[in-house]
Amino acid sequence: MLGDYSLTIVILMAIWVVVTLGLNIITGYAGQFNLGIGIYMGTGAYTTAMLTTEAGWSFWAALPTALAAAMLMGVITGLPALRVREDFLATLTIGMVFVFESLLIYLPWFGGPVGIAKIPPPRLFDTPVGRYGYLFLALAAALAAVLFARALNRSWLGLAWESIREDELATDVIGIRPPRFKLYAFALGGAYAGLGGVLYAHFIRYITPYDFGFVPSIYILAMAVFGGLGTIRGAVFGAAFLTALPELFRFVQEYRNFIYGSLLVLMMLYQPQGLLGKDSLLWRAVHGRRPRGLAAPAA
């Protein structure tokens, strides 16, 4: 059976898969830069943490509320983001994640820089779920997230997003209003990241504002980009691989930022589609297809 340690890694992998899928919806599907995915993850985590510790709610009651809060945060941050594009959008979201982190630290209600501790584990039939229970929960959430993302991508929503990503003006001209669909992407991506945040909070059981700041947001971006932005397989692989890497190799943990940073640069230089993205070398090799020209990554 799995040891305690590998159990922890697998659970964390599942959690980061959910969050990365959220970023994949906003940036991969709808093509909207977002360097502040930590905002939504943090909103979910803090909502559930406060409801379960201070208000005494159960995990199951707090979960939908936290998802709704993260979704709402997606809409709140999405509204100003509608006014700007590309570099400005990237800068705007960086600004937002700093303000978010700063508010969590300085406003009196969120436990300040030390955050919130003693978050209770979820209970099922009046007993706290054990580590295997949590493993099952996290894997079920990740699976549901994958299936839902797949359904989204194949629905008219997915089509509208792809159309906005490739050519926003043309999309507007054929009568599909980009602002509406961008907001859907922010809301759904936010809910995904919020779900990841809830799972994270109840697993680690101790959260601080720094868990959801700019650098964690960049880790998530690295996961999505490494696997292949705009694809589910890329998000799952990137999140799982980059979560496991520092745990499997001690030196990776020591030099985590250095390795993540170099990976981002090297990927952008030689394989901007990500390892398993559309038209990436590896994916083409697996499928034995010929290159379809120099396709750009989905963004």
Partner 1 sequence: MTTTIVLLQQILNALTVGSIYAMIAIGLAMIYGILRVLHIAHAGMYAVGAYLGLLLYVHTRSFALALTGAMVLTGILGGLIERIVYRPMLTRPRIVALIASIGLYICLSDLLRIVAGPHEHAFDVGITATYRLLGLTIAGVDFVILGGTSAIFVLLWLFLQRTRMGFAIRAVAQDPEAARTMGIDVDRTVQLVFFVGSAIAAFGGVMVGILYNAVYPTMGDTVSYKGLALIVIGGFGSLVGSAVAALALGIGETLIMTYTQVPLSREGIAMLMLIILILVRPQGLLGRD
Using CB under 8 A as the criterion, which residues of the chain lie in contact with partner 1 when the complex forms?
A: 27, 33, 35, 80, 83-84, 86-88, 90-92, 94-96, 98-99, 101-103, 105-108, 214-215, 218, 221-222, 225, 255-258, 260-265, 268-269, 272, 296-297, 299
C-beta of 2 vs 79, nearer to partner 1: 79
* CA neighbours closer than 13 Å in the CB half-sphere of residue 118: 4
Q: Are 220 and 37 in contact (CB under 8 A)?
A: yes
Rounded CA-CA distance 227/64 in Å is 29
* C-beta of 215 vs 245, nearer to partner 1: 215
Q: How far apart are CA 265 and CA 207, in angstroms?
A: 30
Nearer to partner 1, 107 or 140 (CB): 107
Query: Cβ distance 45 to 201 under 8 Å?
Result: yes
**Minimum CB distance to partner 1, residue 250 (Å):** 15
9 versus 84: smaller Cβ distance to partner 1: 84
Nearest to 32 by CA among 220, 156, 239, 186: 186
Nearer to partner 1, 84 or 139 (CB): 84
Q: Please report how close the Cβ of residue 115 comes to partner 1 at its closest, in angstroms.
A: 16
Q: How far is the CB of 263 from partner 1 (least distance, A)?
A: 7
Task: Output the smallest distance, CB 232 to partner 1, in A.
Answer: 19
- Least CB distance to partner 1 at residue 91 (A): 5
CA dist 199 and 252 (Å) reads 25
Nearest-approach distance from CB 96 to partner 1, in angstroms: 6
Listed in sequence order, the DSSP H helices in the chain are: 4-23, 38-53, 59-81, 86-106, 131-154, 156-166, 168-173, 178-204, 214-227, 232-248, 250-254, 256-270, 281-287
- Residues in CB range of 82: below 8 A, 6 or more apart: 179, 182, 183
Minimum CB distance to partner 1, residue 89 (Å): 9
CA angle, corner 149, sides to 227 and 217, nearest 5?
50
* CB-based contact 71:187 (threshold 8 Å): yes
* Distance (Å, whole) CA 146 – CA 103: 32
CB of 87 to partner 1, least distance (A): 5
* Closest to partner 1 by CB, 109 or 132: 109
Which CB, 60 or 249, lies closer to partner 1?
249
Q: Which is nearer to partner 1, 120 or 272 (CB)?
A: 272
